[in-house]
Structure 1
Amino acid sequence: MIVLNLSCDREHRFEGWFSSNEDFDRQHGRKMLACPLCGSGEIVRLPSAPHVRTGAVPRDAGTAVPTPGRHYANLAPEVVTKLIDHIIDATEDVGAAFPEEARKIHYHEVPERQIRGTASNREVHALRDEGIEIVALPIPPHRAGKTH
């Protein structure tokens, strides 16, 4: 997993998480990236320094190790909340049926629609192997049950 610094043409800066540099290049080339603040598809990669962990976090450091997907750079909490609200309002919650529904949409077995739901890591990898583009977003548990 790599984290890249990105920016849109309106100079909104944000992070993108990708499985590899090739994954970023593929998504960028297919115009699959968009600014989470304004929706612009004109995305550029910014220079970034690599992060190298040189040792384990001491047990007595009193600092929690960050969990991927739970932190946002340069985003105020109200912006994240607004983004999550928009996603919830604009998508249909299909719950655990997400992998099956995503396949039906991808293979044109059902009309295209915007969905959200849950999938295991194994299911996510299988969907991506089939060429089905999905995005993992951290929706807080207290919001996850809200219907569209």
Structure 2
Amino acid sequence: MIQFSLKCAENHQFDSWFQSAAAFDKLHAAGMVTCTTCGSSRVHKALMAPRVQPSHEPSASPLTAAHHPAERALATLRRHVEENSDYVGLNFAREARDMHDGLIPERAIYGEAKADEARKLIEDGVPVAPLPFTPRRNSN
């Protein structure tokens, strides 16, 4: 997994995780990398600084202060996805493919897929994108 800092044409900055640099390139070329703020697909990689873990906990680090808005944005995104999509768990790849093939009605879904399943969906042109969080498993 690799994390990229991204920026859209409207100057919104956000981070997202990808399976690899090649996976980012493929999703980006397909217009599937979109701004978390405005939804624009006119996104490019922003300059990134390497992350270095300090050997001690600084008292008032600017990185720590910046971390809280990012956590809130991620929580807002998670809440939006969970409230507006159906969790299909490990059936994600099958459900996404069946919708793409017109076998079942289209709807917003999220779930989990093995790396090879996700790669095959992308290769076959099924519109999927990785979430920047791990879905909570629904339990009954």
TM over 0.5: yes
Match of residue 104 from structure 1: 98
Structure 1 counterpart SS, 2:110: strand
Change (3 A) 1:146 1:73: farther
Match of residue 83 from structure 1: 77
What is the distance in 2 between the residues matched to 1:46 and 1:74?
A: 20
Change (3 A) 1:44 1:113: same
Cα-to-partner distance string for 1:72-101 (whole Å, 9 max, x where unaligned) = 978432211111110111111122221211
Match of residue 129 from structure 2: 135
Within 5 Å, give how 1:17-96 maps onto structure 2: 17-19=17-19, 21-48=21-48, 75-96=69-90
Structure 2 counterpart SS, 1:94: strand
Change (3 A) 1:106 1:3: same
Share of identical aligned residues, percent?
Answer: 31
Q: Could you tell me whether the CA contact under 8 Å between 2:27 and 2:122 is conserved in 1?
A: no
C-alpha deviation, 1:117, in angstroms: 1.7
Unaligned runs of 5+ in 2: 58-65
Match of residue 124 from structure 1: 118
Change (3 A) 1:76 1:49: closer
More contact order relative to length (CA 8 Å, sep ≥ 6)? 2
Cα-to-partner distance string for 1:2-60 (whole Å, 9 max, x where unaligned) = 43321123322122434555544443343222111232333233234678x9xxx9xxx
Q: Could you tell me whether the CA contact under 8 Å between 1:2 and 1:21 is conserved in 2?
A: yes
Match of residue 67 from structure 1: none
Match of residue 138 from structure 2: 145
How many equivalent residue pairs? Answer: 130
**TM-score, normalised via structure 1 length:** 0.64
Q: Could you tell me whether the CA contact under 8 Å between 1:14 and 1:74 is conserved in 2?
A: no
What is the distance in 1 between the residues matched to 2:68 and 2:43?
A: 16
